[in-house]
Structure 1
Amino acid sequence: MENEVKTSPVITPEQMLEHWQGHRSLTRRTIEAFPEDKLFTHTIGGMRPFSEMVIEMIKMAAPGAKGIATGEWGEWGTFEADGLSTTPKTKEELLELWDWSTDQINHWWAKIPAGRLQEKDVAFGQWEGLTWWHLFYFIDNEIHHRGQGYVYLRSLDIEPPFFWER
């Protein structure tokens, strides 16, 4: 057809997953950079400790990937982590939960049906939008909180990981 418009994706699903996991790898290195005692206690200007921000990211990532793949979102903030504590008290427990969440993203990503990112859905029973928007929100939220973690690290005289090394 003469007037047929040909389109191609800006990014493939594989590239999108690689992008998201690159951010997660950088955030993991940010968690690792924190001294154990400061990860759960250090704050500036009334912000939460970085550990609490990380838990928020985890609450979005694994259940969010499942929601995108299946349309089953569950209630915001609730998830089960294969026997791991969902309220970690040590850096090691937090990193174990982070790694579990990363594995869950990979698991559910492989199950996302073609075209799913263009469908409307209500994430966690609260936020209506296209699923690609929810995905970008998860990533943007992580970047935002990682930036707060960088401020905390710098206030502790610790050089954060280079943001471009994903």
Structure 2
Amino acid sequence: MSDTTTRLAAGDTAPDFTLSDSEGASVSLADLAGSKVIIYFYPAASTPGCTTQACDFRDSMGSLAGAGYRILGISKDPIDALQKFVEEQSLTFPLLSDDDLAVHHGYGAYGEKSLYGKTVTGVLRSTFVIDESGVIQLALYNVKATGHVASLRKKLSVD
């Protein structure tokens, strides 16, 4: 399935999911109905690029939350790795474990990508902005870790 993952686009209904966060609590997209949600998929906790991206989201929480956005980070990492990452980086938003990659596949965030000039199959660094009614407003694939949050804030007109 990794080679044929369907990508989502603006106007699509965001696939619902229930995953465990770094504390082991269940988080469902359906539970956030009525809120604007930013979901971002990242390859691995505590790696340089993923740390940069997570810290950028953490440092932008005030302005994003002020504009009504909730943030969820999703990776294939086990809960204990997420817990360590949250603690090490003082992250203030939920990180969710999708160890079987089902949600990654549902969002088209897993598949072929180029890594150091080679084609590999893996997590596609992707971000989705979902409105209060569960409709995708932005679907961004293969984003860069550095500068992505600033670019996203600009797209969302969030200072």
- The structure number with the bigger radius of gyration is 1
By the TM > 0.5 criterion, same fold? no
Question: Normalized against structure 2, the TM-score is what?
Answer: 0.27
Query: 1 or 2, which has the higher strand percentage?
Result: 2
Which fold has the larger relative contact order, with Cα–Cα distance below 8 Å and residues 6 or more apart in sequence? 2
Between structures 1 and 2, the one with greater helix share: 1
